[in-house]
Amino acid sequence: MSPIIVIIAIACYFAVLLSVSYFASRGSDNSTFFTGKRQAPWPVVAFAMLGAAISGVTFISVPGMVVGKGYAYLQMVLGFIVGYFAIAWVLIPMFYRRNLVSIYGYLEQRFGNSTYKSGAWFFFISKMLGASVRFFVVCAVLQILVFGPLHIPFEFNVIVTIALIWLYTVQGGVKSVIWTDVLKSFCLIMSVVLCIFFIAMNLGFSFGELTSAITSHETSRMFFFDNPKEGTYFWKQFIAGVFMAIAINGLDQDMMQRCLACRDSGSSSKNMIVSGVLQFFVVALFLLLGTLLVIYVERTPGLEIPEKTDELFGLVAAHPSMPVVVGVLFVIGLIAAAYSAAGSALTSLTTSFTVDILDGRKKYEDTRLTRVRKRVHVAMSVVMGFVIIAFYYISEEDAISAVYTLASYTYGPILGLFVFGMVGSKPVRDRLVPVVCIAAPVLSYGIQWTLKQLWGYETSFELLLINAAVTIAGLWFISLGHKRVF
């Protein structure tokens, strides 16, 4: 596919994106940036969050996952739904009762300042790494389709795309993020549906033949109950999905910042449940597309399954045998996922760093806070750019696995802090909490290595639970004999 066509598609999408951002951000102030003034209608937020959960990693990596893992990912997504109900019934009402701008303010109220800072820093590391992995995938594809053929280095690719994201989020904050996520959700779903349609048409499939070909293909297996030692085992995936959803949605400032933009707790809870259920069907669409891509490769001379399965979708979409419209839809879907996900990550990182780490709302009056927030926004953009470039040179595994592996290590202490705080009332030695939070991922890695070496047990995303359990054990230990109440 011609790089010019890709550039035109990106320019058209970005023109629409900037227009939406402009109208959404008119009259914005710090309250709009951080919480959207809590005026967002919950159906709009639910549709926006559907797109927010589908990053460029999902768009690129999930279709390729079917090659080695079939539809095992849906086992985890079923667990996500249970996790979303827990968020809606437990976490959201608590955040609204406490009138929190940043959800990590709970940790300060419950334990103390050191615990609060620990939660904020772990979120910062988690979101920066996770968002960078997601956006790295998109930059890598753009390098292949656009910048590489034009002999432009990857570093320039990253600088341009990060600058564009900064441009549309700098003023409106979470309000702009919600409305641009609505655009993203629409573009993502339509691009996947239309890609399935055009690829099936190119294969000469009727609807019945398409259904039969997908359901009978070896990559369409969904449930794996046979080997508990494997990472695809159902109960490992399902249970990990429950807690992964709680950790990376309910305890993530990025996702909860949208929820806290709703008018009240009830509206926010409805948004969470509806978006969670819809996510299952959208992910299923991506997996169905993945099987169809494999079938296309198998039936097209000269095409082979790429060594990196993340490249499967782009390989087929840009192939000369495909109509140009498929390549354009691929680019639009990819860009929609990339810009929106990275934009919301920058907004939440800016919010958390300004509010939690710098104590900006406590230290500065409104005009000074605006200047500080904008400087932090630039700094977050620069750091994300450097991390993306680093991933470009060291990445090996499929991106979706990399994202959840990172989340297992970095969100584990956050999950442990919230669980310990909510299930009991024991105080802890606040100054020792950072030590526990740093030690937990290190010990969890040791446990993971030991299980693999001694018993051949392959630890999957349940590593998050191990990490959280180690954190809870450490918090219990430093609470022994401590009487101080915060």
Domain boundaries in the chain?
3-409
Residue 258 contacts residue 52 (beta carbons within 8 Å) = yes
Residue 82 contacts residue 70 (beta carbons within 8 Å) = no
Q: What contacts 404, CB < 8 A, 6 or more positions away?
A: 244, 461
Burial of 319 (0-12, 13-18, 19+ CB in 10 A): middle
**Amino acid code (one letter) for 216:** S
Low-confidence ranges of the chain (pLDDT < 50): 32, 172, 485-486
* Residue 143 CA to its chain's centroid (Å): 22
Q: Which structure tokens are listed for 14?
A: 């970005």
Q: Which long-range contacts (CB under 8 A, 24 or more apart) does 398-401 make?
A: 398/61, 398/64, 398/65, 398/308, 398/309, 398/310, 399/57, 399/60, 399/61, 399/133, 399/134, 399/136, 399/137, 399/310, 400/57, 400/58, 400/61, 400/62, 400/65, 400/73, 401/61
Place of tokens 């990445």: 395
Place of tokens 């230290």: 363
Return the DSSP state at 430.
Answer: G
d(CA 473, CA 429): 14
Residue 170's closest CA among 401, 317, 373, 341?
373
d(CA 372, CA 369): 5
d(CA 31, CA 22): 17
Residue 157's closest CA among 404, 335, 304?
335
pTM: 0.73
What pLDDT shows up at residue 241?
87
28-44 pLDDT, tens digit per residue, is 555 545 555 566 777 77
Residue 65's closest CA among 336, 338, 403, 449?
403
Q: Which fold has domain 3-409?
A: Sodium/glucose cotransporter (1.20.1730)
State how far the alpha carbon of 128 is from the alpha carbons of 39, 183, 222, 305, 479, in Å: 28, 24, 31, 31, 31
State how far the alpha carbon of 395 is from the alpha carbons of 304, 362, 478, in Å: 22, 40, 37
Residue 334 contacts residue 146 (beta carbons within 8 Å) = no
Helices (H) and strands (E) in the chain, counts: 22, 0
d(CA 441, CA 320): 47
Q: What contacts 463, CB < 8 A, 6 or more positions away?
A: 405, 408, 409, 412, 444, 448
To 5 degrees, how large is the angle CA 73–CA 79–CA 83?
135
